[in-house]
Each structure stands twice: as C-alpha cells, then as structure tokens.
C-alpha cells in the first residue's frame, strides 16, 4: 500500500456526531480487528450522548484516518500510580488510534491536542493514559506531547507490562506516591 505524504494535507478534525459516528465504528473495527460492530456502535454512542465523554475523529475526504476518546469520569488509577488527591481534576485519554497508512503525519498529535483542550475547558488539570510499554510509537508520541511516565504495572489479564503517563496543566502536579 502506498503511504500518503508525511504531513496533514486536507484532514478535518471534528467531534463525533450523528453524521460521522459510523466512520468511527468502521475505523475502530479496521484498526482493532473487532468483528462486533454492534458493541462498537454502542460504545461510540456513549461518547456521542454523554457530557462526560468526548470523541474526535480525523478524516481526509470521506476516509476516517484516526480518532481519540477521552472521559472525565472519576476512575481508579492503575496500581503503582501516583496518589492524586483530587480525582475530579483528572481526564482519562481512553483510546487513540490512527490508521496505519496515515501514521507519521501529525494526526495523533492533533487529535490529542483536541482532547486535551476539551479537558481543560471542562476544568481538568491532568490528562492521564496507560499504554503498552513495548509500543515504541506510543512512547514517542506521548513524550513528544509532554506526557511523563508515572508508573509501570503488569496487566492482570494479558500479563503485559504497561505504563501510566500524565500531562499536567496550570502548574498542577501530583504531590506524593502511593505506597
């Protein structure tokens, strides 16, 4: 497959809406190899209908090239993460993916920026995520976007090493570590 030029050409970046939700579902199925489109549709609709969740999609023409999903709900950080006293200040970047043929063009960075801006608009001071420690693309992306690794843990289900990373806004920092 021929790789598109290594820059964002005519990509559009939008919130998920009734018109493009099916593109998100199709892209998730393609990237993750998921076969259950009904489950993917239900999850996408949660992001469309909830005030505490948001999803953004990138498109070149009618082709969906990437997406990001972010949540504001209080959530328990994985074991080994720093203690953040006020969990209401957190946003969880739950999922980000770019179609393989469109990687290296800045799409993921732009999607992350949109998610971060939305989180800041909602009054959040920290965006956190976790990722597979061996995913070099993720390591490079998150570092280049200003995320700092906070902890490592072994995924109980898949027995793989994962890392927790966070980006702080407005001079907000964690104060101590869990013991």
- Each residue of 42-74: pLDDT tens digit? 889 988 899 999 999 999 998 999 999 999 976
Q: Where in the chain does DSSP place strands (E)? A: 11-15, 53-60, 63-71, 82-83, 90-98, 126-132, 148-154, 161-168, 176-177
Other C-beta atoms closer than 10 Å to the C-beta of 104 total: 15
Work out the pLDDT band at 171, boundaries 50, 70, 90. Answer: low
pLDDT tops 90 at residue 157: no
Separation between Cα atoms, residue 116 and residue 158, nearest integer Å: 28
pLDDT, averaged across the chain: 85
Is residue 4 domain-resident?
A: no
Is residue 120 domain-resident?
A: yes
Can you say whether residue 104 is alpha, beta or left, with left for phi > 0 and alpha for psi between -120 and 50 degrees? Answer: left
Q: Which domain holds residue 23?
A: 11-177
Is residue 96 domain-resident?
A: yes
161-168, strands of its sheet edge to edge: 11-15, 53-60, 63-71, 90-98, 126-132, 161-168, 148-154
pLDDT tops 60 at residue 39: yes
* pLDDT value for 177: 40
Considering the entire predicted model, what is its pTM? 0.83
Is residue 133 domain-resident?
A: yes
Rg, Å, the chain Cα set = 16
| Number of domains making up the chain | 1
Is residue 79 domain-resident?
A: yes
The two structure tokens encoding residue 106 = 């800045």
Q: Domain of 59: which CATH number?
A: 3.40.630.30
Which of residues 154 and 114 earns the better pLDDT score? 114
Is residue 6 domain-resident?
A: no
Separation between Cα atoms, residue 175 and residue 179, nearest integer Å: 13
Is residue 2 domain-resident?
A: no
Work out the pLDDT band at 155, boundaries 50, 70, 90. Answer: confident
Each residue of 155-165: b (16+ CB within 10 Å) or e?
eeeeeeebbbb
Is residue 156 domain-resident?
A: yes
């Amino acid at each position: 497959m021929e790789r598109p030029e290594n820059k964002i050409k005519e990509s559009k970046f939008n919130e998920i809406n009734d018109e493009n939700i099916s593109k998100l579902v199709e892209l998730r199925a393609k990237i993750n190899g998921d076969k259950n489109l009904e489950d993917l549709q239900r999850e996408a609709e949660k992001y469309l209908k909830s005030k505490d969740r948001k999803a953004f999609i990138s498109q070149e023409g009618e082709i969906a090239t990437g997406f990001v999903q972010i949540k504001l709900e209080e959530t328990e950080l994985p074991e080994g993460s720093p203690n953040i006293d006020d969990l209401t200040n957190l946003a969880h970047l739950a999922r980000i993916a770019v179609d393989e043929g469109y990687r290296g063009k800045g799409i993921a960075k732009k999607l992350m920026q949109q998610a971060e801006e939305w989180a800041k608009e909602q009054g959040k001071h920290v965006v956190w995520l976790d990722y597979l420690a061996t995913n070099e693309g993720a390591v490079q992306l998150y570092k280049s976007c200003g995320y700092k690794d906070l902890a490592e843990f072994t995924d109980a289900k898949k027995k793989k090493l994962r890392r927790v990373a966070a980006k702080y806004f407005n001079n907000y920092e964690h104060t101590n570590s869990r013991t």
